[in-house]
Structure 1
Amino acid sequence: MMNKISYFRCFLIGTMLSAFSFSSLAQSVIIPIESKSNAIVLQAKQGSIPKVVYFGTRLPNKDEYSKISAQYRQGTDYSGIFNAAYTPSGSRNLIEPAISVTHADGNNSLDLGYVSHETRTLGNGVSETLVILKDPAYPFQVSLHYKVYANEDVVEQWTTIRHQEKKPVVLHKYASANLFLKANSYWLRQYHGDWAKEMQPEESKLTYGIKTLDSKLGTRAHLYQPPVFMISFDNPSMEDQGSVLYGQVEWSGNFRVDLELDPLNNLHITAGANNHASDYSLKPKEEFKTPVFLYTFSDKGKGDASRKLHRWARNYRILEGNGERLTLLNNWESTFFNFTETKLAQLLKDTRKLGVDLFLLDDGWFGNKFPRNSDNAGLGDWQENRQKLPGGIASLVKEADANGVKFGIWLEPEMVNPKSELYLKHPDWIIKQPNREEYLYRNQLVLDLSNPKVQDFVFNTVDGLFSMKNSPAYIKWDCNAVIYNAYSSHLSNQSHLYLDYVQGLYNVLERIRAKYPKIPMMLCSGGGGRVDYAALKYFTEFWPSDNTDPLERIFIQWEYSHFYPAIVSANHVTDWGKQAIKFKTDVAMSGKLGYDIDIAHLNEKDLQFSQEAVQTYNSIKHLVWHGDQYRLLDPWTNDVSAMMYSNDTGTSAVMFSYLVGNRYGDESKSPIPLKGLDPQKNYRISEINLYPGSKSAVDSNATYSGSFLMKVGINPVINSGRKSVVLQITEIKN
């Protein structure tokens, strides 16, 4: 959050680089911020706050942006700044501000006038526009940053704040972005949930006033509400048509998004870190950098917006986004806390038998004075339990190597049980009020990552595992508690805790990635309690939900797919649900496949199917991980759900179909039109991942044109006897 020295700070205090094109004009200037298809256009005049005059599809002629404002006759804006690019409070503003401060002299007003702007090219279709604003009465400066990924139509926006007043200035609100949108009406698709009920959607028409989406949980901050949403213009969101904006706060802590429909029917989106209990005292010459607000816009519906965001994520954000992933077998549901070295050795053999890449040892491997035999003890004491693992982690790594598989391990390094040596030795490292009774979440408390000593402890915990001669090859990083009774023994200003905690987490992850840039890590937080693109900078995948019932997962994974590509969605075959193992596997295959079952308990045919399924998955995973995703049939409104992935040339694709209805006669009654193919090519369709002894109901000898498949479609023959079907679509080359 707070960078003492940054590239732009150096620039602002006088360092000029020739790569910048600098503008400081006395008259009105148009600032078009354009991507391949879209544009945000500001109009600025020296000393006055910049205004947003356009947001939408890019115009071929830039000169016409200056003509847009004159076409609106909505009524009177008494303040004159409804469409401010970054709305200050305390002066003439009449709506929700983006920024609110108390100056060193106690004045609560803020005015922001345009000083200059510049755009620099960062290469590969990426550019950054910087707009500098200053208060005419105070040495207080705000810089607006717009980082544009032109080819993907994605924008990252953030703000830096600094001043040269004699004493600290208190920041009460500090949004990352302040969008201004125009349409006849606006529809919000938001998400809510809880443990095992992640990503529950709700769509409604926005009415006048303010709708706030936020979190105040501190850690695992996205448990009740994730920091993602979408706005559709004039109609509820549609998959392949209509204008839609996807938004996300890239922040793993408390976030806040205000959506305000003003009296003139304009929509204001003010997004960033939540200022709840988080006034920030900014010292003179210190720089405050807000989290990033990410958004993309499409006039071709949700599907196009998703694919843009997925391509951006794979190319620029997710660790190894265009790389490979490990399939794994996890021991949790087969052993829980009750295991021995002998039992794990057998599971390692089962890992080889199944054919996956890695065995993951979950919770319960640590603690001696307070052994981790349940979730009420041992957390924080990261030494191998000598009774369970007399040979330690190193012996398990050797055993994994002997079986030709890799070894991974579970950690929850930000947390502590009161029943632990760490709790007894370092009570000052724990977030808790000194004068209030402890209130536990899942029998645990949160370590104070605002404290550099705690950051060192967490880093050293991970470093100690990775630096062993026989070290793990994978980490599952969990985070299961929220912050109660927020108080830091380290901080003198308690209102900094929520911000400094998250920055402390990022500091640790930066250090880990600097030393171990390639080690795969799963981002887990009791499921989707911490899933955002700031965190995914450091992780190769995330755990969408502890709810692995495949029917439930169809819906959860469907909603996540709007914002995250399949390569980061860790989908496991488990004992949850009463469905057949084929159905469970077909659902898990639509992301990053994994297993959490006891292989020894599978019957002969289920084991054979699972072994063949891993091989089948290996033949199609490049399409799932790196292909363009197309949502075909929505599970919320149909008896059958369908999704497909196609390569960028349209020569190969894979389609997943599932029965989600449970009424008599529910089945795929009509063909399902496909997407992402070449209408001029011819294709053959074959059913894959069949259960041993079963036959396909799909004719694999028939030939179809891409035009036929996209206009008419294919019926996968889903019914109560065929509840899931995976189809491979392959170009027939003459």
Structure 2
Amino acid sequence: MPIEWNEEQKLFHLYNGRISYMMQLVHGKYLAHLYWGSRVQLLQPLAILPFKVRTFSPMNEPADPRFSLDTLPQEYPAFGNGDFRTPAYQLQSSDGSTVTEFVYDSYAIFKGKPRLNGLPMVYVEDDDEADTLVITLVDSILGVGLNLHYTIYRDFDVITRSVSFENLGSREVKIEKSMSMSVDFHNSKWDWLHLQGTWARERQIERRPLIHGVQSISSARGASSHQHNPFLALLSKDATEEYGDVYGISLVYSGNFKATIEVDPFEITRINMGINPFNFSWLLKPGEIFQTPEALMVYSSEGLGGMSRIFHKIIRSRVCRGVYRDRTRPILINNWEATYFHFTEKKLRDLADAAKELGIELFVLDDGWFGRRDNAKSSLGDWVVNRKKLPNGLNGLASYINGKEMQFGLWVEPEMVSPDSDLYRRHPDWCLHVPGRNRTLSRNQLVLDLSRDDVCDWLIETFTNLFQSAPIRYVKWDMNRNMTEVGSALLPSEGQKETAHRYMLGLYRVLEVLTERFPEILFESCSGGGGRFDLGMLYYMPQTWTSDDTDAVERLKIQYGTSIVYPAITMGAHVSDIPNHQTGRMTPLEMRCHVAMAANLGFELNIDKLSKEDKELVGREIQLYHQIKEIVLFGDLYRLWSPFEGMDTAWMYVGRGQRQAVVFYYKTLATPNPPFLRMKLRGLNPQLRYKINDDGQVFYGDELMKMGLNLPLIKTDFFSEIYHLKAVDFKEISENF
């Protein structure tokens, strides 16, 4: 897993057993991108970078008229000194100019990976896991150092990148753009894929060809957003789920972001991603350092599925942290759709009693337990128990739940404040606002200004006291609106465009303290469902509420799209009531269970009102989930049939050692006189024999992968089936016949 510097060829080579990433110094000062992909050896690097005079491309080296930054594939390009394409950064000096020229100064190679100050990151547990390269460029006129950080892992086919700017001079410099990464690919014959959506329709897959010019995705909402996930991928034209070159990039950040792809006239494709430069700037004072968020970059030669499995493995083990990282999660019941705001302690106890009978392990009390919170119009910020609803307090309810041998969990929305609250009446300046401007409400609430240390300190103290007040073992951390009037009462005029990023730094500080103080609490992040489903939040909270849309049919697309980047163990999925509260659709209880069982299983309905038959079904599905959850949550995912392409959806998880697998099959709408369907499985050991569902037939792995599994003819809408495959030896087969 070394990083090599070839002095003679001026070449940096990062590699492990499977991938290579190469850069080269041109004319001793310009850092050019050579290659990123499958592991290669290189004898003639100069042959990779041909040069030619291009009309209207400026000559940056008079002695070499063929050389121009406008046509050079670069590692971290600027604008203003010859390159007219999308820049990775832009700085403004004290005289107002934005021209920079960072040239190579030095490099350092070391084992391991340092922490990023105040930011989430992909981490190491041992220095032997990874090597890090830092390349330093300097603009001597500006007096600023630019450090490009690269880390390559031994056991993961990934590169992480980030950038830091250091003011080495005596004058202030304003950062107006600072991407976390930039790569120039040497051709443009790609498709690109991203995950778009909105509330209740998050992470819908969209794939389309690249075109000349600029295409981009972004968020300026103060969160990574429902609309665009901070991820994109480049795919070779022939790439499928299991074949072809795929490059995936995901930003370890939860705030405003932008990802841009530009194809120039000479078929070079430039990608960069980082903090959204819109409404952003950062005043860098002498001696100060600005650190960008980190980008996680994945290459796979085995299609989208291969890319996803790489993302899943590193996210599970080197993004998520804490005691729950390697644990299966308790099956929960959330009271929200069963009661909304209108509950009593007796209602909650009755719901818990019914849940316990079915084998549910965790009871979660959702919104409405604090202040005067009988609707969404008041009390955010007043985190005091409503004794009218809970006369025995949180501790009394939690003790009752614990007496049932169930854990107790709680919903909170710490980042928000209601105008109708004691907190707002005491501190009206604590929300994001601009003096003299209207304070726009969304869901009858405002956003607390987490760029302020006093607000963050208050949050830490308040929620430390709250989490200590009862035996709380799960917290759903919600955030139900995006930012408007993004300004801070404490920042000077020249620092107002720093507010959104300082907010994220403040949030990360709060989360770091609280998750360290309460390691036995399982934190689940939420933002109106999946509006902040990103690697930044997963660094602190190892799972996310995937969507407020609990309809089983819609969840097929949402969970399928989410799986492009994120593993099943990061997804919260609940079985809810019918008609579904978001779509009005009627789906069988079995299908609702089977969709939710492909992630962290939970329930969000009045179980006490289920029929005897439905309660028995739920009990059976919970027993099945206990048998398969290790495979689902820690296994390798293979997406078989896409819900974006037809009425049939299928995916499967293969456990460690390939001795067990779980296949999920769903049909949304039946068709008359249907054909026979045969589903080819993936990821199995071709030499092993697999028994299906214990009492089923036995097949070789290669039979199932090459010939397929016959599916039943379906004459009903909304059908689902789970197939549990177990490897068996010859002796066991003989005894069964």
Specify if TM > 0.5.
yes
The question of 1:63 aligning with 2:38 is answered no
Which of 31-40 and 419-428 deviates more?
Answer: 31-40
Q: Which residue of 2 aligns with 1:673?
A: 680
Q: 1:727, CA displacement in angstroms? A: 0.3
Q: Please, which of 15, 24, 29 is the counterpart of residue 48 of structure 1?
A: 29
The question of 1:409 aligning with 2:416 is answered no
Q: 1:63, CA displacement in angstroms? A: 3.4
In structure 2, distance between residues paired with 1:723 and 1:74: 63
Q: Which residue of 2 aligns with 1:483?
A: 483
Change (3 A) 1:656 1:718: farther
SS for the counterpart of 2:161 is strand
Q: 1:195, CA displacement in angstroms? A: 1.0
Q: 1:531, CA displacement in angstroms? A: 1.1
RMSD: 2.0
In structure 2, distance between residues paired with 1:111 and 1:548: 52
In structure 1, distance between residues paired with 2:194 and 2:713: 31
Q: 1:187, CA displacement in angstroms? A: 0.8
In structure 2, distance between residues paired with 1:529 and 1:537: 16
In structure 1, distance between residues paired with 2:696 and 2:347: 47
Q: Structure 2: which amino acid aligns with 1:333? A: E
In structure 1, distance between residues paired with 2:278 and 2:687: 56
SS for the counterpart of 2:454 is helix
The question of 1:725 aligning with 2:721 is answered yes
Q: Which residue of 2 aligns with 1:704?
A: 699
Q: Structure 2: which amino acid aligns with 1:652? A: Q
Q: 1:258, CA displacement in angstroms? A: 1.1
In structure 2, distance between residues paired with 1:75 and 1:350: 75
Q: Which residue of 2 aligns with 1:584?
A: 592
Change (3 A) 1:718 1:410: farther
Q: Structure 2: which amino acid aligns with 1:361? A: L
Q: Which residue of 2 aligns with 1:230?
A: 233
SS for the counterpart of 2:229 is coil
Q: Structure 2: which amino acid aligns with 1:732? A: V
Q: 1:66, CA displacement in angstroms? A: 4.8
Q: Structure 2: which amino acid aligns with 1:382? A: W
Q: Which residue of 2 aligns with 1:623?
A: 631
Change (3 A) 1:153 1:434: same
Q: Please, which of 186, 190, 208 is the counterpart of residue 204 of structure 1?
A: 208
In structure 1, distance between residues paired with 2:302 and 2:607: 45
Q: 1:271, CA displacement in angstroms? A: 0.7
Post-superposition Cα deviations, 1:438-489, rounded to whole Å, max 9, x if no partner, equal 2111111100000011101221232112222x32111000001111111211
Q: Which residue of 2 aligns with 1:473?
A: 473
In structure 2, distance between residues paired with 1:661 and 1:121: 54
Change (3 A) 1:34 1:66: farther
Q: Which residue of 2 aligns with 1:532?
A: 534
In structure 2, distance between residues paired with 1:185 and 1:484: 39
Q: 1:137, CA displacement in angstroms? A: 2.7
Q: 1:500, CA displacement in angstroms? A: 0.2
Q: In 2, are the aligned partners of 1:24 and 1:117 still within 8 Å (CA)?
A: no
Consecutive unaligned residues of structure 1, counting only runs of 5 or more, are 1-19, 688-699
Post-superposition Cα deviations, 1:392-443, rounded to whole Å, max 9, x if no partner, equal 1000111011111000000000001111111111011011222112211111
Q: Which residue of 2 aligns with 1:563?
A: 565
Q: In 1, are the aligned partners of 2:5 and 2:12 still within 8 Å (CA)?
A: no
Q: In 1, are the aligned partners of 2:670 and 2:714 still within 8 Å (CA)?
A: no
Q: Please, which of 332, 341, 348 is the counterpart of residue 344 of structure 1?
A: 348
Q: 1:139, CA displacement in angstroms? A: 1.9
The question of 1:552 aligning with 2:560 is answered no
Post-superposition Cα deviations, 1:246-305, rounded to whole Å, max 9, x if no partner, equal 111211110011111112101101110111111111011101000111120111100111
The question of 1:520 aligning with 2:522 is answered yes
The question of 1:100 aligning with 2:90 is answered yes
Q: Which residue of 2 aligns with 1:190?
A: 194
Q: Please, which of 310, 316, 319 is the counterpart of residue 317 of structure 1?
A: 319
Q: In 1, are the aligned partners of 2:145 and 2:167 still within 8 Å (CA)?
A: yes
Q: Which residue of 1 aligns with 2:106?
A: 116
In structure 1, distance between residues paired with 2:616 and 2:395: 31
Change (3 A) 1:424 1:633: same
Q: 1:217, CA displacement in angstroms? A: 0.5
Q: In 1, are the aligned partners of 2:9 and 2:45 still within 8 Å (CA)?
A: no
Q: In 2, are the aligned partners of 1:49 and 1:133 still within 8 Å (CA)?
A: no
Q: Structure 1: which amino acid aligns with 2:479? A: C
In structure 2, distance between residues paired with 1:597 and 1:628: 31
Q: Structure 1: which amino acid aligns with 2:276? A: N
Q: Which residue of 2 aligns with 1:432?
A: 433
Q: 1:39, CA displacement in angstroms? A: 1.6
In structure 2, distance between residues paired with 1:131 and 1:286: 18
In structure 1, distance between residues paired with 2:305 and 2:3: 36
Q: How many residues align?
A: 693
Consecutive unaligned residues of structure 2, counting only runs of 5 or more, are 60-67, 113-126, 731-737
Q: Which residue of 2 aligns with 1:281?
A: 283
Q: Which residue of 1 aligns with 2:304?
A: 302
Q: 1:234, CA displacement in angstroms? A: 3.2
Q: 1:716, CA displacement in angstroms? A: 3.2
Q: In 2, are the aligned partners of 1:75 and 1:264 still within 8 Å (CA)?
A: no
In structure 1, distance between residues paired with 2:347 and 2:327: 33
The question of 1:29 aligning with 2:31 is answered no
In structure 2, distance between residues paired with 1:476 and 1:614: 22
Q: Structure 2: which amino acid aligns with 1:703? A: V
In structure 2, distance between residues paired with 1:561 and 1:216: 24
Matches within 5 A, 1:338-487: 338-367=342-371, 371-468=372-469, 470-487=470-487
What TM-score comes out, normalization by structure 1 length?
Answer: 0.91
In structure 2, distance between residues paired with 1:361 and 1:199: 27
Q: Structure 2: which amino acid aligns with 1:729? A: L
Q: 1:121, CA displacement in angstroms? A: 2.2
In structure 2, distance between residues paired with 1:416 and 1:90: 44
Q: In 2, are the aligned partners of 1:184 and 1:233 still within 8 Å (CA)?
A: no
Change (3 A) 1:36 1:73: farther
Which of 649-658 and 116-125 deviates more?
Answer: 116-125
In structure 2, distance between residues paired with 1:119 and 1:666: 61
